[in-house]
């Protein structure tokens, strides 16, 4: 199949050139380390906010760390700091290797690195200080939104221009996904962030009410669909074949997966607004397309899984491959759960409950973070020219902590979410509501504790990964300094 | 390299995979459709609380039980037709109105503290939500909300109709130390709001900005220059706590809903 050749092409082109391509990998190394650090920070803030819900005294009466201000910091840190650094590291890594070409502009890539980290610093200051636009997952003030647009476009331009000057004949499938993410996130960010400034730190959304809600959830769901899914599917289509040493199972399936997802995912946002003041057709349309999305999503998951056919035994010894495969399992699970939750009858129960939060985390921890770690470990070995991580068994420990932590988290919130939904709608024999609202709050306590424990296990795993990566890098650097191993491009 | 000339899919797909610009254009088109179909109509179809240029609300027509059209002036406060001509004269039931300065300051506190992360402001048309919170929310009720604060999670109860449900004193005690009033609550203490003064400059500037909005601006006949100039005096000496309570107490009582009327069609 064509895709086989595309994968081999990378090595073929390299081998046939008089001088092998010398890639710009230093910026990728920095993004890789940054991603490993931000993963720990972002999930740790998550554990803190989860603890605040379980034991409210932990808000400590300090305004800057109250739940309402820290929760946006958690979401922004994991999505933009961790997720962003993973996407830039893998994006720059894959585009060079699949195009057999250095980056279009190495200088611009460093601008992306510096700019993105500056944005993260701004977010860390702005959100605890309460500078919030009041729109979920897009809380950063307008001035930071402007910075995000510029830095995002610097990445997009560099990526697309590198594709344009590639040495290979076809554009590899990972780059399709990355390009669709670049375009869609640009649309989303620009349209959703439209605001009129009130001061340097605050602005008011240009849209109001119903229209603002639709724009916001068009952004909210597609930040998941393109940033956390398309971008990470690019990772899947490169790193699963690379790590398993097998070609992608089906080229045709990847074509179907790509175009169906690119066209269809955009429609799903309105399923967040079932039974609200929006016209009913918007939610119904969103739910219908959500159901249809099961097909390409599962097609893509199968495509990744079946890539391992003939190499399943590697799962016994290859811990990195375990991350990639379990990620695909979570991808398949959450892309089934999501459409189910979008249906009106299910949504009537699940909306406003912890079930939604659990669903997001089965996607974000189980799929996004797991596939990211598979790629990070793979890249660390290649980038620093080592055959093994500092400790392979710590990779395995991390794998199990990530998996178990995620499962505990998701199960806790399934139970609490469904219980909340059922308690709120329950009537007693006299036809009055059985439970007061606060009874549902106190019923949540054990599950909030359980969720915090699951998150903590995941965070400790991330800390182990950071330790392992730092030790691997410092060992490799020490060896390189003493001249034991020749430096690799 | 002859293998590279072979086409494994369709001719078109093959061309797309070979040409960066074509791939870019195809993606840019494909991802644009869904948003256009779902977002753009909401600025034009009835019942989405968009103020048409002629004040017709895009042909929105709520019908009473006898089938007669309810005047939109009963849903959205119109000082020109109402007996109450200014925001200070406005009475609950007169229809949806913009926020008064102190309430707006409170809304900015609500936004700053991330209240929307635990409290929704949108009641769905279900029996249990009606019994617990009141009449379902309709589009007009958030027409001046830049940004909307419907929320997506009820860690705490919905607040869409919390206005006048409790006394100011209850709200103050609860906001200061929630567990003094509701022992099972997981809400943070907000006693420190009592010692921070409202941000007068930002509130007044927000009023000006709200009149400049491209979509659903606050009419200048309501936020008149005189009214905006007088806002600072109304905010003088007020704390963030006063503002937040004023905002909460004004939530959800703007419209006098009639029994049996379907406001969602």
Using the predicted structure, report yes or no on whether residue B102 has a pLDDT greater than 70. Answer: yes
Of the candidates A56, A169, A262, which has its C-beta nearest B186's C-beta? A56
Are A40 and A81 in contact, with CB atoms under 8 Å apart?
no
Are A310 and A318 in contact, with CB atoms under 8 Å apart?
no
Using the predicted structure, report yes or no on whether residue B11 has a pLDDT greater than 50. Answer: yes
How many Å apart are CA A194 and CA A203, to the nearest integer?
Answer: 9
State chain B's maximal CA–CA distance in angstroms: 83
Per-residue pLDDT at A18: 52
Per-residue pLDDT at A213: 98
| pLDDT level of residue A481 (50, 70, 90 thresholds) | confident
**What tokens does A355 get?**
């079930």
The CA distance from A467 to the nearest CA of chain B, in Å, is: 33
Of the candidates A71, A202, A277, which has its C-beta nearest B137's C-beta? A277
Q: SS3 of A205, please?
A: strand
Residue of higher predicted confidence among A484 and A195: A195
Average pLDDT over chain A, rounded to an integer: 94
Beta bridge partners of B153: A352
Per-residue pLDDT at A486: 53
Using the predicted structure, report yes or no on whether residue A14 has a pLDDT greater than 50. Answer: no
- Give the other-Cβ count within 10 Å of A137's Cβ: 20
How many Å apart are CA A489 and CA A64, to the nearest integer?
Answer: 45
> Residues A267-280: what's their mean pLDDT?
96
How many Å apart are CA A326 and CA A318, to the nearest integer?
Answer: 13
Using the predicted structure, report yes or no on whether residue A296 has a pLDDT greater than 80. Answer: yes
Of the candidates B126, B188, B213, which has its C-beta nearest A206's C-beta? B213
Per-residue pLDDT at A4: 46
| pLDDT level of residue A310 (50, 70, 90 thresholds) | confident
User: Is the minimum CB–CB distance between A211 and chain B shorter than 8 Å?
Assistant: yes
Q: Do B186 and A263 touch (CB under 8 A)?
A: no
What separation, in Å, do the N-terminal and C-terminal C-alpha atoms of chain A show? 30
Using the predicted structure, report yes or no on whether residue B1 has a pLDDT greater than 70. Answer: no
What separation, in Å, do the N-terminal and C-terminal C-alpha atoms of chain B show? 63
How many Å apart are CA A473 and CA B160, to the nearest integer?
Answer: 54
Of the candidates A67, A208, A262, which has its C-beta nearest B148's C-beta? A208
How many Å apart are CA B150 and CA B51, to the nearest integer?
Answer: 20
Q: Do A180 and B27 touch (CB under 8 A)?
A: yes
- Give the other-Cβ count within 10 Å of A133's Cβ: 23
How many Å apart are CA A184 and CA A426, to the nearest integer?
Answer: 42
How many Å apart are CA A57 and CA A391, to the nearest integer?
Answer: 39
Burial environment of residue B2 by CB neighbours within 10 A (0 to 12, 13 to 18, 19 or more): exposed
In chain A, the residue whose alpha carbon lies closest to the alpha carbon of B199 is A199
How many Å apart are CA A98 and CA A174, to the nearest integer?
Answer: 9
Using the predicted structure, report yes or no on whether residue A11 has a pLDDT greater than 60. Answer: no
**What tokens does B190 get?**
């907000």
Using the predicted structure, report yes or no on whether residue A218 has a pLDDT greater than 90. Answer: yes
Per-residue pLDDT at A286: 97
Residue of higher predicted confidence among A488 and B135: B135
Distance of CA A44 to the CA centre of its chain: 16
Q: What is the pLDDT of residues B155-199, one digit of tens each?
A: 999 999 999 999 999 999 999 999 999 999 999 999 999 999 999
Using the predicted structure, report yes or no on whether residue B68 has a pLDDT greater than 60. Answer: yes
State percent of chain A over pLDDT 70: 95
Using the predicted structure, report yes or no on whether residue A57 has a pLDDT greater than 80. Answer: yes
For residue B98, which residues of chain A lie inside 8 Å, CB to CB?
none
Using the predicted structure, report yes or no on whether residue A15 has a pLDDT greater than 70. Answer: no
Using the predicted structure, report yes or no on whether residue B246 has a pLDDT greater than 80. Answer: yes
- Give ∠ CA B134-B143-A345 in degrees, rounded to 5: 50
Give Cβ neighbours of residue A407 (< 8 Å, ≥ 6 apart).
A454
Per-residue pLDDT at A8: 52
Per-residue pLDDT at B156: 98
User: Is the minimum CB–CB distance between B214 and chain A shorter than 8 Å?
Assistant: yes
For residue B116, which residues of chain A lie inside 8 Å, CB to CB?
134, 136
Are B50 and B42 in contact, with CB atoms under 8 Å apart?
yes
Q: Do B182 and A438 touch (CB under 8 A)?
A: yes
In chain B, the residue whose alpha carbon lies closest to the alpha carbon of A75 is B117
| pLDDT level of residue B7 (50, 70, 90 thresholds) | confident
Q: Do A61 and B191 touch (CB under 8 A)?
A: yes
Are A468 and A389 in contact, with CB atoms under 8 Å apart?
yes
| pLDDT level of residue B265 (50, 70, 90 thresholds) | confident
A to B CB pairs, distance under 8 Å: 283
User: Is the minimum CB–CB distance between A279 and chain B shorter than 8 Å?
Assistant: yes
Using the predicted structure, report yes or no on whether residue A19 has a pLDDT greater than 90. Answer: no
Q: Do B117 and A208 touch (CB under 8 A)?
A: no
The CA distance from B218 to the nearest CA of chain A, in Å, is: 11
How many Å apart are CA B70 and CA A406, to the nearest integer?
Answer: 52
> Residues A373-394: what's their mean pLDDT?
97
Residues 246-265 of B with CB under 8 A from A: 264
Residue of higher predicted confidence among A12 and A20: A20
Beta bridge partners of B96: B76
Per-residue pLDDT at A319: 96
Q: Do A277 and B138 touch (CB under 8 A)?
A: yes
Q: What is the pLDDT of residues B17-57, one digit of tens each?
A: 999 999 999 999 999 999 999 999 999 999 999 987 666 78
How many Å apart are CA A83 and CA A43, to the nearest integer?
Answer: 12
For residue A266, which residues of chain B lie inside 8 Å, CB to CB?
31-35
Helix A251-264 / helix A231-244 crossing angle, nearest 10 deg: 160
User: Is the minimum CB–CB distance between B15 and chain A shorter than 8 Å?
Assistant: no
Q: What is the pLDDT of residues A92-116, one digit of tens each?
A: 999 999 999 999 999 999 999 999 9
> Residues A359-385: what's their mean pLDDT?
97
In chain B, the residue whose alpha carbon lies closest to the alpha carbon of A50 is B186
Are A144 and A108 in contact, with CB atoms under 8 Å apart?
no
Mutate to test the interface with A, among B16, B18, B152, B177 (most CBs of A within 10 A): B152
Using the predicted structure, report yes or no on whether residue A384 has a pLDDT greater than 50. Answer: yes
Per-residue pLDDT at B59: 86
Distance of CA A118 to the CA centre of its chain: 20
Q: SS3 of B256, please?
A: coil
How many Å apart are CA B12 and CA B14, to the nearest integer?
Answer: 5
Using the predicted structure, report yes or no on whether residue B5 has a pLDDT greater than 80. Answer: no
Q: With b meaning 16 or more CB within 10 Å and e meaning fewer, what string describes B23-58? A: bbebbeebbeebbeebbeebbeebbbbbbeeeeebe
- SS3 labels along B181-231: HCCCCCCCCCHHHHHCECCHHHHHHHHHHHHCCCCCCCCCCCCCHHHHHHH
Q: What is the pLDDT of residues A342-354, one digit of tens each?
A: 999 999 999 999 9
Burial environment of residue B73 by CB neighbours within 10 A (0 to 12, 13 to 18, 19 or more): middle
Are A65 and A59 in contact, with CB atoms under 8 Å apart?
yes
Q: What is the pLDDT of residues B55-67, one digit of tens each?
A: 678 889 899 999 9
Using the predicted structure, report yes or no on whether residue B4 has a pLDDT greater than 80. Answer: no
Using the predicted structure, report yes or no on whether residue A149 has a pLDDT greater than 90. Answer: yes
The CA distance from B217 to the nearest CA of chain A, in Å, is: 9
How many Å apart are CA A38 and CA A79, to the nearest integer?
Answer: 10
Are B158 and B123 in contact, with CB atoms under 8 Å apart?
yes
The CA distance from A107 to the nearest CA of chain B, in Å, is: 22
**What tokens does B116 get?**
């929307």
pTM greater than 0.90 (yes/no):
yes
């Amino acid at each position: 199949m064509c895709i086989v050749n595309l994968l081999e092409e990378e090595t073929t082109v390299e081998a046939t050139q008089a001088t092998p391509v010398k890639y710009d990998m230093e910026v990728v190394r920095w993004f890789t380390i940054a991603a490993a650090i931000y993963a720990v920070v972002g999930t740790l803030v998550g554990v803190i906010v989860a603890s605040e819900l379980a034991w409210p005294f932990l808000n400590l009466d300090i305004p800057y760390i109250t739940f309402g201000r820290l929760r946006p910091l958690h979401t922004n840190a994991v999505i933009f700091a961790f997720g962003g650094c993973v996407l830039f590291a893998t994006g720059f890594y894959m585009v060079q290797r699949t195009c057999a070409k250095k980056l279009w502009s190495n200088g611009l890539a460093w601008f992306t690195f510096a700019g993105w980290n500056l944005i993260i610093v701004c977010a860390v200051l702005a959100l605890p200080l309460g500078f919030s636009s009041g729109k979920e997952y897009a809380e950063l003030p307008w001035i930071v939104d402007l910075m995000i647009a510029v830095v995002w476009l610097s990445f997009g331009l560099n990526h697309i221009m590198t594709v344009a000057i590639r040495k290979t004949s076809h554009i590899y499938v990972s780059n399709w996904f990355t390009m669709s993410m670049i375009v869609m996130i640009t649309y989303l960010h620009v349209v959703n962030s439209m605001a009129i400034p009130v001061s340097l730190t605050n602005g008011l959304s240009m849209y109001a009410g119903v229209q603002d809600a639709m724009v916001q959830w068009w952004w909210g769901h597609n930040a998941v669909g393109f940033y956390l899914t398309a971008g990470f599917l690019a990772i899947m289509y490169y790193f699963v074949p690379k790590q398993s040493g097998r070609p992608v199972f089906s080229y045709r399936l990847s074509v179907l997966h790509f175009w169906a997802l690119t066209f269809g995912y955009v429609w799903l946002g309105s399923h967040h607004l079932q039974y609200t003041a929006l016209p009913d057709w918007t939610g119904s349309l969103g739910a219908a397309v959500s159901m249809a999305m099961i097909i390409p999503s599962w097609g893509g998951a199968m495509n990744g899984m079946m890539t391992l056919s003939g190499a399943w035994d590697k799962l016994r010894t290859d811990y990195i491959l375990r991350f990639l495969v379990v990620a695909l399992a979570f991808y398949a699970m959450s892309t089934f759960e999501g459409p189910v939750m979008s249906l009106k009858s299910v949504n009537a129960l699940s909306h406003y409950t912890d079930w939604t939060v659990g669903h997001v985390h089965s996607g974000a921890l189980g799929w996004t973070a797991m596939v990211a770690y598979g790629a990070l470990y793979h890249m660390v070995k290649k980038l620093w020219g080592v055959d093994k991580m500092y400790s392979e068994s710590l990779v395995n420990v991390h794998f199990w902590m990530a998996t178990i932590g995620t499962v505990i988290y998701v199960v806790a919130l399934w139970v609490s979410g469904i219980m909340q939904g059922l308690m709120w709608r329950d009537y007693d024999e006299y036809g009055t509501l059985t439970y007061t609202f606060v009874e549902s709050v106190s019923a949540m306590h054990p599950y909030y504790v359980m969720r915090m424990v699951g998150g903590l296990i995941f965070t400790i795993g991330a800390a182990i990964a950071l330790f392992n990566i730092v030790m691997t890098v410092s060992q490799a650097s020490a060896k390189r300094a003493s001249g034991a191993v020749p430096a690799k491009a | 390299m002859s293998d590279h000339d072979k086409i494994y899919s369709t001719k078109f797909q093959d061309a797309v995979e070979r040409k960066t610009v074509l791939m870019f254009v195809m993606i840019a088109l494909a991802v644009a459709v869904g948003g256009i179909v779902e977002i753009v109509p909401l600025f034009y179809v009835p019942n989405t609380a968009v103020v048409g240029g002629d004040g017709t609300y895009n042909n929105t027509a709520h019908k009473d039980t006898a089938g007669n059209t309810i005047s939109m002036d009963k849903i959205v406060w119109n000082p020109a037709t109402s007996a109450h001509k200014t925001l200070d004269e406005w009475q609950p039931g007169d229809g949806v109105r913009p926020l008064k300065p102190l309430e707006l300051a409170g809304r900015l506190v609500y936004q700053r503290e991330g209240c929307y992360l635990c409290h929704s402001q949108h009641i769905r048309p279900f029996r249990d939500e009606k019994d617990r919170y009141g009449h379902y929310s309709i589009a007009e009720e958030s027409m001046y909300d830049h940004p909307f604060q419907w929320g997506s999670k009820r860690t705490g109860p919905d607040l869409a109709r919390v206005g006048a449900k409790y006394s100011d004193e209850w709200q103050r005690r609860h906001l200061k130390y929630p567990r003094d009033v509701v022992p099972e609550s997981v809400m943070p203490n907000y006693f420190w709001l009592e010692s921070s003064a409202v941000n007068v400059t930002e509130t007044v500037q927000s009023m000006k900005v709200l009149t400049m909005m491209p979509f659903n601006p606050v009419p200048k006949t309501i936020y008149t220059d005189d009214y905006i100039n007088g806002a600072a005096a109304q905010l003088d000496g007020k704390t963030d706590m006063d503002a937040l309570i004023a905002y909460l107490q004004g939530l959800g009582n703007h419209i006098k809903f009639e029994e049996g009327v379907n406001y969602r069609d």
